[in-house]
Chain A
């Protein structure tokens, strides 16, 4: 089936604008992750959903960042009053339901490249 999709692929925003980034996970994947990848860096964890529940948002850099997954499938990452330091690639990943010890592989989308002018 289809992989993880993200839209838009590219977004240019003026400083102070609000943006919304969308992630469509693989069908049936319960877990959903958002990562931020700054230029020249590795991805960094932002937040995690299990179905519609946001179980960890420890990586969100400020209260301007907000993520939701109201029906347990599509997720939106919203950034309010964007700043230049928010410029990065935002990656979404999904995985199957966690079952006890072990690891469920995360499948990544192509990312959204956000540029804040």
Chain B
């Protein structure tokens, strides 16, 4: 079965420092991978997605992620974190047959930004 693992429950980063959030997936075929951000009381906002092609994908708000098939990973990165980036981040994989693909999410990583 498809699954996503986010090994870090909490991460604290100083403002201006770089960030990397880890994500590992389990999926038999070429996966469709996503990173979402959720601020308190808000819905899920899509940061970026990987379908195929270039393994380094750019997203909104200065985020990027790199797909590494050999490591089954899709880590999220940002070179310089801003206080407004404090939120919960979810990695997800689209699972299912043609035409209907539900999202399977990891348990999330809460990002705290210190001054």
Taking Cβ atoms with an 8 Å cutoff, the residues of A that contact B are 4, 31, 33, 35, 40-45, 48, 50, 55-56, 59, 91, 93, 98-103, 105-106, 108-111
Contacts and interface: CB of A to CB of B under 8 A. Distances in A.
A48 B105 contact: no
A99 B46 CA distance: 21
B104 A45 contact: yes
Given A45-B104, A108-B43, A99 B99 contact: yes
A42 B100 CA distance: 20
Contact of B105 (A4, A31, A42, A111): A42
A41 B106 CA distance: 8
Nearest to B90: A42
B49 A105 contact: yes
B103 interface: yes
A101 B98 contact: yes
A93 B102 CA distance: 10
B10 to A, nearest CB: 11
Nearest to A45: B102
A109 to B, nearest CB: 6
A75 to B, nearest CB: 15
A56 B44 contact: no
